[in-house]
Structures are given as structure tokens and as C-alpha cells.
Structure 1
Amino acid sequence: MLVQNKGEYIRHVGVRLIPGTNNLETDEAEAFKEAVRTNPLDKALVGKEIFFDSEKPDAVISEIKADDALLLIADTFDVDLLNRFHDEEEGSKRPRTTVLKTIENQIASILDPNEDDIVDQEG
């Protein structure tokens, strides 16, 4: 299940959610859903700082609305997950070129970052 932490901090909503897109495995997804269902503070974060599609919690990227998918992709820094997104979108009945291009651009920016964006840790 894909859960996006749009905040600037690590959140614990049944599981640890780092800022950006989190890919939750089955046990983690169940713990997350339970926390959202039973804890009013966690429930309040959904829609404000945490995004997931409660109507389709197990949706793949090709089943997510394009605008939401683009935001999710821009917030994903795991190349393996981005490659999975690309495969899912390409394998859909109607692949969206904007989604595919955004995934490709995000992968490229991670693998070959702009020199101006690289922080010199020795200086």
C-alpha cells in the first residue's frame, strides 16, 4: 500500500512513515489502517499531512488520479519503487505519457543529479 507523508517529519502512524512516499507491506499496511481507524490524532493527519487512497488502499500507480500520481512520484526517492511505478503504468490499458515522463525524470534526477544540487560535505 502506498502512503505519502507530505510533512517534514517522520511520523509514526502504526508504522514509521518517512517524509515522501512509503511502500507498506501487508503487515505494515494493516498496522497503519488500524492506527488510523482507532487513533483520532492519527486519523486527523490523513488528508492534511498523510495521503493514501482510502477507497483503493491497494491501488497501483496507474489506478491513482493523474494529479495525485504526479505528486506521489515527485515525492518518491526509491529508484526501485519508481521503476515499479513505471512498469505498472506502462502495463496499464491506457498508459499516461505525463505520468511515464514524470517517473523517468524523477529517476534521472536521482541517478544523475544537477551539480548545483549536490552538497559538498568536505567544505
Structure 2
Amino acid sequence: MLVQNKGKYVRHAAGVMLVPGANQLSPTDWKKFSAHPLIKELVEDEEIVAHESAKTTKDLNANEAIELVKDTFSLSLLEEWKATEKRSTVLAAITEQSNLIVNGSGEETE
């Protein structure tokens, strides 16, 4: 499942770590992590959002997918999504975010 850490900090609880942006977690890890009292508050404040039925961006609506992509800093995760995504707007967001990570800007370099 996809879990989005919208905060600026790495979050640790119950042996699980979430980096800022998108994270892949097993349902078991999410259950342990989200049961922690401090994490419960972050979930209630929507700083941490679980997309429980989503495994990739194609399982989200386009706006949610784009928001998640713009908050993702894992090139491997972005490449994985790019391989399965069909929507042009989401693909453009993935390309822009990948270029931002690699080149420091949203534009391709030659």
C-alpha cells in the first residue's frame, strides 16, 4: 500500500520508518505504525495519509496521483510508476519530478 508522509521529517514508530513523500508499506507494517499514539495524531491531522487500496499511481485519481508524484523523491518508485501509468498528465508529472531530482530543475537537459 502507498503511504504519503506530507511532513518534512522522517517518522519512526514500531520498527517502521516513513521518509517524506511516498512510501510502500505492507498492511501489517501500516497497522503497527498507525497504532502508535504519536502517529495516530499525525494521521488525524492528515500529515500522514494512507492510500490503503492503492499500490501505484494508477490506483488513484489523477489529481491525487500528481500530488503524490510531486511529493516523491525516490527515483526507483517514480520509474516503477512510469512503467505502469497511462495518463499523460500523471506521466508528465513523473517526468518533471524525475528531472527535478536528477537535474535540479523540472526541465530535461541535453
**Fold equivalence (TM over 0.5):** yes
- Alignment partner, residue 86 of structure 1: 82
Inter-partner Cα distance in structure 2 for 1:13 and 1:63: 27
State the superposition RMSD in angstroms: 1.8
Counterpart amino acid of residue 77 in structure 1: F
Q: Where do 5+ consecutive residues of structure 2 fail to align?
A: 106-110
Matched, 1:100 2:98: no
- Find the counterpart in structure 2 of residue 53 from structure 1: 51
Runs of 4+ in 1 over 3 A off after TM superposition: 38-41
**Structure 1 residue 112, shift from structure 2 partner:** 1.5
Number of aligned residues: 103
2:40 maps to 1:43: yes
Conservation of the 8 A alpha-carbon contact between 1:10 and 1:18: yes
Alpha-carbon separation, structure 1, partners of 2:17 and 2:88: 33
Give the CA deviation at 1:34.
Answer: 2.8
> What is aligned with 1:23?
24
Would you say the 8 A contact 2:82–2:94 is kept in 1?
yes
**Matched-pair contact (CA < 8 Å) for 2:5–2:19:** yes
Contact 1:6-1:49 at 8 Å conserved across structures: yes
Question: Which structure would you say has the larger Rg?
Answer: 1
Q: Is contact 2:10-2:20 (8 Å) kept?
A: yes
Q: What is residue 108 of structure 2 aligned with on the other side?
A: none
Q: Shift in Å at residue 40 of structure 1? A: 4.3
Residues 13, 32 of structure 1: 8 Å contact kept: no
Structure 1: runs of 5+ lacking an equivalent? 90-94, 115-123
Which residue in 2 is equivalent to 1:8?
Answer: 8
Q: Report the Cα distance in structure 1 between the residues aligned to 2:55 and 2:29, rounded to whole angstroms.
A: 18
Q: Percent identity?
A: 39
